[in-house]
Chain A
Amino acid sequence: MSTEGRRHDRDRGDHLWVVEEAADVVRPEPRVTLPEDAADTDRWGRSEEVVRRVGPAVDFLYDRWFRTEVEGLDKIPAGGALLVSNHAGALPPDAVQIMWAIRRELDRRVYMMGEHVFGRLPVAGWMFRRIGGVEADPSTARKLLGEEGQLGLVFPEGTKGTGKHWSERYRLQRFGRGGFVRVAMDAGVPIVPVAVLGAEEAMPIFGRLDGLAGMLGLPYVPVTSMVWLPVKFRIRVLDPIDVHLGHSDDHTQQMVSEDVRAVIQRTLIDLLAQRRSVIWG
Chain B
Amino acid sequence: MADVVLTDPDMGVGALVVDALQRLGIEIARSDAPAPAGQSAAAEVWLERLDEARTGGLVVNHCRLRAGGLSRRSLEMAERVLAAASRCETLHRVVVVSSGQVYGSGAELPTFVTEGHAPTERPGASATDIADLESAAARFAAARPDVSLTVLRVAETVGTAPHGLLADHVLQPGGFVTTRFGYDPQVQFVTAHAVAAAIVHALTEDVAGVYNFAPADAMPLSAAIRLVGRTRVPMLRTVSLVGGILRRMEPWSHELGELLTFGRALDPQRAVDAGFPEPSSAAAAIAAAVY
Q: Mark B252-286, 1 if CB is under 8 A from A, else 0.
A: 00000000001000010000000011001011100
Within 8 A of B (CB), among A16-44: 16-19, 21-23, 25-32, 34-35, 38-41, 43-44
Q: Which residue of A lies closest to B240 (CB)?
A: A217
Does B220 interact with chain A (Cβ within 8 Å)? yes
Give the docked Cα–Cα distance between A44 and B218 (Å): 7
Contacts of A29 in B (CB 8 A): 159, 191-194, 280, 288
Does A248 interact with chain B (Cβ within 8 Å)? no
Does B183 lie within 8 Å of A14, measured CB to CB? no
Does B107 lie within 8 Å of A17, measured CB to CB? no
Given contact pairs A38-B283, A119-B107, A17 touches B24 in the complex (Cβ within 8 A): yes
Does B161 interact with chain A (Cβ within 8 Å)? no
Contacts of B114 in A (CB 8 A): 139
Contacts of A34 in B (CB 8 A): 227, 283-284, 287
Does B23 lie within 8 Å of A139, measured CB to CB? no
Give the docked Cα–Cα distance between A35 and B219 (Å): 14
Contacts of B197 in A (CB 8 A): 22-23, 25-26
Given contact pairs A4-B24, A16-B56, A39-B223, A122 touches B110 in the complex (Cβ within 8 A): no
Contacts of B137 in A (CB 8 A): none
- Give, as a whole number of angstroms, the nearest-CB distance from B85 to chain A: 15
Give the docked Cα–Cα distance between A19 and B205 (Å): 8
Does A125 interact with chain B (Cβ within 8 Å)? yes
Contacts of B201 in A (CB 8 A): 19, 22
Given contact pairs A119-B107, A139-B114, A41 touches B223 in the complex (Cβ within 8 A): yes
Interface of A, helix, strand, loop or mixed by DSSP: loop
Contacts of A28 in B (CB 8 A): 193
Q: Mark A26-66, 1 if CB is under 8 A from B, else 0.
A: 11111110110011110111000000000000000000000
Contacts of B159 in A (CB 8 A): 29
- Give, as a whole number of angstroms, the nearest-CB distance from A123 to chain B: 4
Does B198 interact with chain A (Cβ within 8 Å)? yes
Does A45 lie within 8 Å of B220, measured CB to CB? yes
Among A30, A38, A116, A139, which residue has its beta carbon within 8 angstroms of that of B288?
A30
In which size bucket is the chain B interface? 35 or more
Does A122 lie within 8 Å of B237, measured CB to CB? yes
Give the docked Cα–Cα distance between A129 and B217 (Å): 15
Does A3 lie within 8 Å of B204, measured CB to CB? no
Does A135 lie within 8 Å of B110, measured CB to CB? yes
Give the docked Cα–Cα distance between A10 and B107 (Å): 48
Given contact pairs A25-B23, A45-B220, A139 touches B110 in the complex (Cβ within 8 A): yes
Given contact pairs A17-B26, A40-B223, A45-B220, A32 touches B200 in the complex (Cβ within 8 A): no
- Give, as a whole number of angstroms, the nearest-CB distance from A54 to chain B: 16
Does A137 interact with chain B (Cβ within 8 Å)? yes
Given contact pairs A30-B291, A32-B287, A38-B287, A123 touches B200 in the complex (Cβ within 8 A): no
Does A32 lie within 8 Å of B24, measured CB to CB? no
Does A134 lie within 8 Å of B111, measured CB to CB? yes
Does B107 lie within 8 Å of A140, measured CB to CB? no
Does A23 lie within 8 Å of B283, measured CB to CB? no
Q: Mark B193-211, 1 if CB is under 8 A from A, else 0.
A: 1101110110111100000
- Give, as a whole number of angstroms, the nearest-CB distance from B72 to chain A: 29
Give the docked Cα–Cα distance between A189 and B249 (Å): 49
Does A5 interact with chain B (Cβ within 8 Å)? yes
- Give, as a whole number of angstroms, the nearest-CB distance from A40 to chain B: 7
Does B56 lie within 8 Å of A10, measured CB to CB? yes
Among B181, B206, B276, which residue has its beta carbon within 8 angstroms of that of A14?
B206
Show 19 A/B contacts (Cβ-Cβ < 8 Å), sorted by A.
A3-B24, A4-B25, A5-B24, A10-B90, A10-B92, A15-B204, A25-B200, A29-B192, A30-B291, A32-B284, A39-B219, A119-B107, A122-B180, A122-B181, A122-B183, A125-B182, A129-B186, A137-B110, A139-B114
Measured CB to CB, the residues of B under 8 A from A are: 3, 16-17, 19-21, 23-26, 54, 56-57, 90, 92-93, 107-108, 110-112, 114, 159, 180-184, 186, 191-194, 196-198, 200-201, 203-206, 216-220, 223, 227, 237, 262, 267, 276-277, 280, 282-284, 287-288, 291
Measured CB to CB, the residues of A under 8 A from B are: 3-5, 7, 10, 14-19, 21-23, 25-32, 34-35, 38-41, 43-45, 116-120, 122-123, 125-126, 129, 134-135, 137, 139-140, 143
